Amino acid sequence: MNPILQTLLPEFILGLGAMALLLFGVLAKRDQSTACTWGAIIGFILAAIAAYTAPTGTIFAGLFRSSDFSRYADMLVLLGAAAALILSLDYNRREGIARFEFPVLVMLAVLGMLVMTSASDLMTLYLGFELQSLALYICAALARDNLRSTEAGLKYFVLGALASGLLIYGISLVYGFAGTTNFAALANLLGNGAGYGTVIGIVFVLVGLAFKVSAAPFHMWTPDVYEGAPAPVTALFSTAPKVAAMALLLSVMLGPFGHLLAQWQLLIVILSVASMLLGSLAAIGQTNIKRLMAYSSIGHMGYALVGLAAGGEAGVQATLVYLALYIAMSFGVFACIIAMRRQGRSVEAIADLAGLSAQRPAMALALAVLMFAMAGIPPLSGFFGKLYVFAAAVHAGLVVLAVIGVLTSVVAAYYYLRIVKVMYFDTGDPAFDRTAPGVRLVMAAGAILSALFVFLPGPVLAAATAAARALVG
Amino acid sequence: MNAAGFPILSLITFLPLAGVAFIATLRGDETVVARNARFGALWTSLVVLALSLYLWLKFDPAQAGFQFIETATWFTGFNVSYRMGIDGISLFLILLAAALMPIAILSAWSIRRRVRELMIAFLLMQTMMLGMFAAGDFVLFYIFFEAVLIPMYLIIGVWGSERRVYAAMKFFLFTLTGSILMLVALVWMWSNAGTTDIATLLHTPIPPRDQLWLFVAFLASFGVKAAVWPLHTWLPDAYGEAPLPATIMLAAVLSKMGAYGFLRFAVPMLPQAAAQAAPLMFTLGVVAVIYISFVALAQTDMKRLIAYSSVAHMGVIVIGIFTFTVEGIEGALFQMLSHGIVIAGLFICTGVLLARGEGLALGRLGGLAARMPAFAALLMLFSLANMGLPGTSGFVGEILVIVGAMQVNFWVSLLGGMGMILGAAYMLVMLRAVLFEKPRVTGLGRVDDLRPREYAMLAPLALLVLWLGIYPASFTHGFDATVAAMVQAHTAAVVHPATAALAVAIR
């Protein structure tokens, strides 16, 4: 087979698959949302297989690079997106927003993310970035008759457009001052220092990407969008695009701009500290569990950024491990949130969970495991993510950052514990409706992966090591 | 392989998980499940105890280093392996934890609500405790050390008394704050030594400048866990609100985890900092002994009085550890064992009173010596042991610590020894109020004396108190070599830092 075709096979599968599903959806007599969703999930599985077997190397004269790094990020993106689609199956039907466009849009967004993770040129980067953003704006407003959902879509679009503007402005500055947009060429060029213009350009690129990973102080859209968007869409937002944007951040900052670590390291440290502080402090007062998860995700991105701030192979590896563990926790939690339905309506207040441990012990146990994992209490998976990022930070001499990180994680533990407290210590009558099997499956998968990572860390670590080596080594 | 011929430490540690699996799969109506869960947990803990006794039998007391070492790859490429191993210090703490677990489970017999979950939580906690004492790798130790919080938090919060939620939250966040600082110290030492093997870390020199802040991190962590004054404020709430079995495990074993941390990490790995901090630790210990004893004297609730007496005794243990003498450290270790047994006995006595509907307010109790003679005799024994009467276990530990402290500082020894006098004061006040004074509240009818299940809990503890008190050598024999080697290494590191570093380099 043609090497170009082979390298791009996952992208082809997703792109052509999305077109095919779109045609099928439009031409079908009845609404075919369930069939389209399953089609998209199968597409993701095929794309994952294709990405796993894709040869490593650069194609299109350096525009696109497939490596162990992009493979690792692709797997996480596909996993997160597939989980979100499984969650959407039942939820969208019950909420009356089951439309075949949703899986098509998610497929297009994932296509964008796959391009992002393999981009090796600022232009490819921007293309992928925009493709996923535009698809996701529509997803946020999927419940178009719901005021909060449309508000979420609009807010996400306006702020996202601003971020895209900053990103493209930064790219143009870098191009103007360096004369190239190719990663390898930039890395060569910036090896012996950079002028002010380039550095300013890098800062704009960084800000644009920080919007997407919702790192404070560029997080403003996150709580409202998380709360307003339908729950499966929120589940998607908190997994796949986060991984893609973080992977992009890693590959841009440590690839072409890697030699300028000393100049941008402080910025990442500031972003990271601000995110960790905001994620832990602002979440305390939340009563809506989706908003709480929004702040929690800001905090988690802060911890993931600690690895980037540390730089080097150990730092990349730490961030990648963190992302993998975060995805598993995150879709598990959102499965629990989607399972919070009473008399056909979804409820979102934390107080609604009161007494859950008596009525639905399995769900309460799963959510408790996930909460302890998110809080980073060993032996659950979240702890190892934190251990790696802090180890990378201390190894790189950023002891103060590590200390701030562990202290904010205690504050964060408070609100995670509060959810456990509500479920186990308070009395109440949640009386949730029967949960769909798909949702239960995702919930169990998230909880089991988080609980048992300690026994089998090998595969994730080996993959992350290979990915980090491909990027930095 | 090791002396036992099979991976005994892993077996001891993870056997309770098999019990968890058994209990989790029980089917049937509620009473059947509850009964089977109780017996399942009890038998599991008894098998663990038997295995631990076998471990003691096979243990070679002449050897100072780690024994029964097990290794397996775990986090490949990070030099973090699964390593287990024990020395004389950890052996007896494993025995203590294994011996008290069946007793705690027996004391949970009267809890009727959510029995299955309670037993699962207890067995999980046992795995964490045993694993922590047996861990031969710092990361592994940390995981067990912090994971204990999860079952304990749930036990206090679900089965505790009125202010349980507050107590559970306070307990969790206090201990988490402390231990999370140790995490930073851990990763620092990891990147310093390139491995987290405890045996290697013990021989890796650390610059004195860095030792200081590492010590602060350890102090925050182990100090909270061991409830060293002034980091003890979570303790009265947690002990007071937790259900009886959890109080027993908290007071008898979990508080020893902190002291164990000092002995395993803070003192041998950071010798200079430990030596520098010794005056501070003495001060904290003496304040705990004297001030907390007075606080205990002022309590009107029996459970809280015993809780405060526990803080005072932790002060003695801290003093003993930081004398860096063989007598002091052996005294601290002995006191850890003795205190674990005695405090469990005292708390079970409060449980007996609660089961009779007597309440624990000292003002309402009284005259029980005549009404419950067997109970009175045992309560008396444990109280006398708690104040350190010769012939009981409490005496040996206290006297060794006083002797050890005397070699270092007369005043520390004197003031630390005050604990025995003040301990006598508050324990005797308690005994008078509970056993001898005429009850101020009339109308209390006849109450039964001890029931068979209560004898099963209290009698072994009473025998242990006497055994430790009358023939302490059967225990000190086990940790003599380890402690001697530790003190020697510490003295060498503090007195001749350069030669010690050289010796390390040569090794």
Inter-chain CB pairs, A–B, below 8 Å: 85
Q: Of all residues in chain B, what percent carry a pLDDT higher than 70?
A: 95
The alpha-carbon gap from B230 to the nearest alpha carbon of chain A, in Å, equals 20
Task: Specify the pLDDT at position B499.
Answer: 53
Q: Please tell me if residue A23 touches chain B, with a CB cutoff of 8 Å.
A: no
Distance CA B370, CA B366 (A): 10
Task: Specify the pLDDT at position A69.
Answer: 93
Q: Do A461 and B76 touch (CB under 8 A)?
A: yes
Task: Specify the pLDDT at position B445.
Answer: 59
Give which of A425, A427, A455, A469 to mutate to test B binding, by max B Cβ within 10 Å. A425
Task: Specify the pLDDT at position B507.
Answer: 45
- The per-residue pLDDT for range B366-381, each reduced to its tens digit, is 777 778 888 889 999 9
Task: Specify the pLDDT at position B497.
Answer: 59
* Assigned token pair, A413: 């533990």
* Assigned token pair, A106: 């998610």
Q: Do A413 and B176 touch (CB under 8 A)?
A: yes
Task: Specify the pLDDT at position B2.
Answer: 63
Closest residue, chain B, to A412 (C-alpha): B173
Q: Do B172 and A417 touch (CB under 8 A)?
A: yes
* Assigned token pair, A93: 């039907």
pLDDT at B204 over 90: no
Please name the member of A390, A413, A420 whose beta carbon is closest to the beta carbon of B183.
A390
Task: Specify the pLDDT at position B441.
Answer: 59
Task: Specify the pLDDT at position B77.
Answer: 65
Q: Is B227 left (phi over 0), alpha (psi -120 to 50) or beta?
A: left
- The per-residue pLDDT for range A217-260, each reduced to its tens digit, is 898 899 999 999 999 999 999 999 999 999 999 999 988 888 88
Q: Do B142 and A378 touch (CB under 8 A)?
A: yes
Task: Specify the pLDDT at position B300.
Answer: 86
Distance CA B496, CA B507 (A): 16
Please name the member of B77, B78, B188 whose beta carbon is closest to the beta carbon of A399.
B188
The C-alpha R_g of chain A, in whole angstroms, comes to: 21
Closest residue, chain A, to B162 (C-alpha): A425
- The per-residue pLDDT for range A251-303, each reduced to its tens digit, is 999 888 888 888 889 999 999 999 999 999 999 889 999 999 999 999 999 99
| Neighboring chain A residues of B150 at a CB cutoff of 8 Å | 372, 377
Q: Do B180 and A421 touch (CB under 8 A)?
A: no
Which of A186-190, A204-208, B67-71, B251-255 is the most confident on average? A204-208
Give the pLDDT mean for B188-212: 86
Work out the pLDDT band at B423, boundaries 50, 70, 90.
Answer: confident
Which is higher by pLDDT, A233 or B475? A233
Give the pLDDT mean for B339-354: 90
Please name the member of B76, B139, B184 whose beta carbon is closest to the beta carbon of A406.
B184
Burial (CB count <10 Å: 0-12, 13-18, 19+), residue B354:
middle
| Neighboring chain B residues of A378 at a CB cutoff of 8 Å | 142-144, 146-147
- What ipTM does the predicted assembly reach? 0.90
The alpha-carbon gap from B271 to the nearest alpha carbon of chain A, in Å, equals 22
Closest residue, chain B, to A371 (C-alpha): B150
Distance CA B373, CA A175 (A): 92
- Cα angle: B451, vertex B455, B460; to 5 degrees: 170
Distance CA A56, CA A7 (A): 7
Q: Do A403 and B184 touch (CB under 8 A)?
A: yes
Q: Do A379 and B74 touch (CB under 8 A)?
A: no
With a cut of 50, which residues of chain A have pLDDT below it? none
Task: Specify the pLDDT at position B225.
Answer: 87
Q: Please tell me if residue A346 touches chain B, with a CB cutoff of 8 Å.
A: no
Distance CA B232, CA B308 (A): 9
Task: Specify the pLDDT at position A449.
Answer: 93
Give the pLDDT mean for B335-353: 91
| Neighboring chain A residues of B143 at a CB cutoff of 8 Å | 378-379, 383, 454
Residues facing B75 on adjacent strands: B80
The alpha-carbon gap from B229 to the nearest alpha carbon of chain A, in Å, equals 22
Q: Please tell me if residue A52 touches chain B, with a CB cutoff of 8 Å.
A: no
| Neighboring chain B residues of A391 at a CB cutoff of 8 Å | 187, 190-191
| Neighboring chain A residues of B182 at a CB cutoff of 8 Å | none
Residues B423 and B397 sit within 8 Å (Cβ to Cβ)? no
Give which of B132, B144, B172 to mutate to test A binding, by max A Cβ within 10 Å. B172
Distance CA A74, CA A10 (A): 9
What global pTM score does this model have?
A: 0.92
Estimate to the nearest angstrom the gap between the alpha carbon of B431 and the chain centroid.
Answer: 24
Residues B293 and B426 sit within 8 Å (Cβ to Cβ)? yes
